[in-house]
Amino acid sequence: MQKKSGDGFVVKPGYVLVGVLVVVVLVMFSFFAGYGFRDMVTGTPSKSAIYPLPPIAKLVQSKGAAVPAYDPDVKPYETINEVMRAIHEHFIKTDVKDRDLTYGAIDGMLKSLGDRFTRFMRPEEYEEFEIKNQGEFYGIGANIDVISDEKTGKTVPVIIRALEGTPAEKAGIKAEDRILKIDGKSTEDMASGVVVSLIRGKQGTPVTLTILHKGATKPVDITIVRDRIELHPVEYAMLPNHIGYIQLQEFNEKGDRELDKAFARLKADGAKGLIFDVRSNPGGLLEVAISVSSRFIKSGPVVSTKDRKGNIEKLEADASRFLNLKIPVVVLVNKYSASASEILAGAVQDTGAAKVVGEKTFGKASVQILVKLRHGGAVALTTAKYLTPKSRDITEVGITPDEIVPADETDKDNGAGTGKGAQFQKAVEIIKAQINKTASK
């Protein structure tokens, strides 16, 4: 039997039942969806929200693109172009630059290699790198490295040393201070080159660093006026008991040249022993590391390199650089002595040319090349690892000194100077003992 609705349409009884069920389902869906929406807004879980709603999104495709489909033959660079096109067409910000996207992609590309020393240098960073090698720049005057935070796993820049007489030292910046922000910009996971480029700038201009001093719980903002920083990688002095002291801050060509003057002066002044200080020295050029080591080692390998194919090349001492000092030598190192500093420490330790005193070194056994790019930047790529003369691999392990002496506060405050810290005093003690032993024979 059929019934007519009020508007004259014929409705079958079965359809009425279906319609009622549809209404009930819609009401229930609205009920649960409402809870899901409330959860998404308030962040409060609801026991009734069995199926939480996904984030609000809609499927789109780039202009002129084909219907999205899985294509295993798509080249990686094509995917990058797709993403960049999608960003320009749909991202909420309209001022995104291709340069920034490209630099970010390069940073991510190099980070995926799993080598923290391989890095991209933007044009301004490479320019600063070149300036530093020439021996002067405009900045605050501090050595900076990037380390991993034990708690967060993120990287953070840390002060290795504030150079004497520089704006950084005058502002109270000290070794092991952490830089959390630069002019309000977070430094978390920031590449070391970026950190340096942000801190350096025109002479007379200010930069504000948010600093967390060692042992402090709250950071402080310190504003420093940039100034001309002239680098002299070598400092030397004659200490009591005719003990010569040389401190090398970086293994570059200028430092290699300045060493000649330092050695000659100390020899003329009658040095009976020598402390060679590479604490907080981050490294430098491989060629200079060999040249410096050759002052103490007459012949044989200074270091060996092992490339990605397993080929090993032994790099011999340069006999023309050998000084034949005939006096006891102590090489001072700490946990920030890296790369070329470790080549020197490993070479004199393995050959017996000097005693190594201080803390276990950084453990950077990487040989790198610098590939200059046409746009003005460069890529520093790790191409091999190096081994000590006795074929020790110190990667992530470092050089263990002959005499382990933890740094005290005096060592930390004056880590590369002629202070009276525990490490420095141990070096003096060893040299005096050797001088007395020789004199008693």
Q: Could you tell me whether strands 329-333 and 273-277 are parallel, antiparallel, or unpaired per DSSP bridges? A: parallel
Q: Which amino acid is at 372?
A: K
Tokens of 149: 């935070």
Catalytic residue check, 339: yes
What is residue 123's DSSP assignment? H
Active-site residue, from 293, 339, 341, 366: 339
> Does 75 participate in catalysis according to the annotation?
no
115 and 101 Cβ atoms separated by less than 8 Å: no
Tell me the sheet residues that pair with 76.
Answer: none
Residues 386, 396: contact at Cβ < 8 Å? no
Cβ-based neighbours of 63, under 8 Å, separated by 6 or more: 89
Rounded Cα–Cα distance for residues 316 and 299 (Å)? 7
Within a 13 Å sphere around the CA of 136, how many CA atoms are in the beta-carbon half? 6
Do residues 235 and 207 make contact, with C-beta atoms less than 8 angstroms apart? Answer: no
Catalytic residue among 280, 293, 341, 364: 364
d(CA 342, CA 348): 10
Catalytic residue among 256, 277, 350, 411: 350
Q: Are 292 and 331 in contact (CB under 8 A)?
A: no
Rounded to 5 degrees, φ, ψ at 201 are 175, -165
DSSP 235-304: EEEEEGGGEEEEEE--BSHHHHHHHHHHHHHHHHTT-SEEEEE-TT---B-HHHHHHHHHTT--SSEEEE
Q: Hey, is 341 helix, strand or coil?
A: helix
What's the one-letter identity of residue 279?
A: R
Contacts of 120 (CB under 8 A, 6+ apart): 103, 106, 107, 110, 191, 193, 377, 378, 379
CB of 377 within 8 A of CB of 110? no
- Please tell me what DSSP assigns to residue 393: B
Instruction: For residue 203, give both structure tokens.
Output: 């002479």
**From residue 403, how far is each of 103, 146, 357, 433 by CA, in Å?**
45, 27, 5, 14
The residues that are catalytic are 339, 350, 364
